[in-house]
Amino acid sequence: MNRAKELSIGENIAWNSIGNFVYLIAQWALSYIVVRVLGYGPAGTFSLAMSIGNSLNAIATYTMRNYQVSDLKGDYSDNQYILSRAITSGISLLACIVFTGINPYDGYTSLCIIAYMVFKISEAVSDVYQGILQRANRMDYIGKAYILKSLVDLALYCGILLATNDLLFAICGLSIGSTAIVCIYERATARPFSNQKKTSSDVKEDLGRVLGLLIACLPIAAYGLFFNTMGQVPRYALEFMLGSEKLGIYTSVAMPVTLVQVSANYLFVPLTAPLAQCYLDKNSKRFYDIIKKVSIAIAIIAVCAFAGFGLLGKPVMRLLFGDSILPHLYLLNPLIVCSILVALSWFLSAALTVIRQLKGQLLLSLSSFILSCILSPLLISLFGMNGATFSYIAALLAFSAGSLVLLFKSFKPSTA
């Protein structure tokens, strides 16, 4: 790697934020256009595919990104990270096929779910190349890739949907476009920064090392599966108890709010490498200074979100979805609280990965997942669609509180 070409933290944050924000808008538009073109029913089907795909994506990525970026000593080569991603992606696709087979979905819905899973696998492969670039402090390439994917994905998806009025064809187009960008552009941009060039003599050694990598990261993978599914369980329960149309309405209201949590996360992703360096240097003061600044930033984002949605929520939602969405705007405020807690939890989980508190992280996510499973049907039966949000909030509070306790116990702040 050419370390002389590293970008500053500010430059990395800027490129990552711009690229991801464009990509986020494009992803939001995918759900929005389904509502406008096909209605709330198909939007519910698309939301179900997203929920299942997002949950199983934890298997595909193995939640390995923070581990990969913080592997500053080079315990594993980039070839081994890439090979492990191919294995976990195949497992996630198989799991998706099995999941759709054991659930009472019709054939069309099952195909939509599987096609969307292929799209999520393309994102998982993209993630491992982005990990190489992030560790090299060259997130400008990541930002550019996100902008390129946004344009290609949105053009293919919307063009096919408008031409055919068929959700399945549109998702297939989305999957093909995303996969093409990963294979043609992202792979090429990451190659010069890889810490090991691929040769035929290395393949056997890589396969042996990959098994060790997968075992080492198993607690993180399990954490990622439980953490991601913790947020999807309420939606799964909502669809099961109240139907696809209610889930479509809930997802439509949640769309703009999702911008808050994901935008906040994109600001903090570039801080994983600096946190890892602080931990490597045993610099607990700077480590907790970063956490303090992030917490303040999240609080500011929360205030801005409540103010923004308070002033503009109703007119914006009416503009986007028409008057039919207005009776459901009571869902907004709990969803904002939820989005802020998701952003905080994501950052705290990254910090736990950096200090290698993997078993504790797993136990926290498992406990929060179980809490979500218990509370979701109960609170949905009591509070309707809001119950899905309330159950997720409770699980996130439990995870965040436990993460803070574990952080302070494992890497004590300096008294100097």
Average pLDDT score over residue span 64-84: 88
Instruction: Please give the single-letter amino acid code of residue 173.
Output: G
Q: Kindly tell me if the per-residue pLDDT of 353 is higher than 70.
A: yes
Helices 203-216 and 78-102 meet at what angle, rounded to 10? 60
Would the pLDDT of 199 be above 70? no
Sign of CA dihedral 362, 54, 341, 367: negative
Instruction: Quote the pTM value.
Output: 0.76
In the structure, what pLDDT confidence band is assigned to residue 380 with cuts at 50, 70 and 90?
very high
Residue range 303-331: average pLDDT?
Answer: 88
Q: Is pLDDT above 60 for 10?
A: yes
- From first CA to last CA, the distance across the chain in angstroms is 36
232 C-beta neighbours (distance < 10 Å), count: 20
By the 10 Å C-beta count (0-12 exposed, 13-18 middle, 19+ buried), 198 is classed as middle
pLDDT in tens, 200-259: 456 677 788 899 999 988 888 888 889 888 988 999 899 889 988 888 888 888 877 777
CA–CA separation, 249 and 153 (whole Å)? 24
Q: Which helix (H) or strand (E) holds 383?
A: helix 358-383
Please tell me which of 210-224, 331-345, 365-379 the model is most confident about, judged by mean pLDDT: 365-379
Which of 27-31, 259-263, 282-286, 385-389 is the most confident on average?
Answer: 385-389
Q: Is 168 a residue whose pLDDT tops 70?
A: yes
Range with the poorest average pLDDT among 100-104, 267-271, 294-298: 267-271
Distance CA 329, CA 56 (A): 30
Average pLDDT over residues 180-197: 88
Distance (Å, rounded) from C-alpha 258 to C-alpha 306? 13
CA-CA distances (angstroms) from residue 351 to 78, 268, 322?
Answer: 22, 11, 42
What mean pLDDT is reported for the chain?
Answer: 88
Buried (b) or exposed (e) across 58-94, using 16+ Cβ within 10 A? bbbbbbbbbbbbbbeeeebbbbbbbbbbeebbeebbe
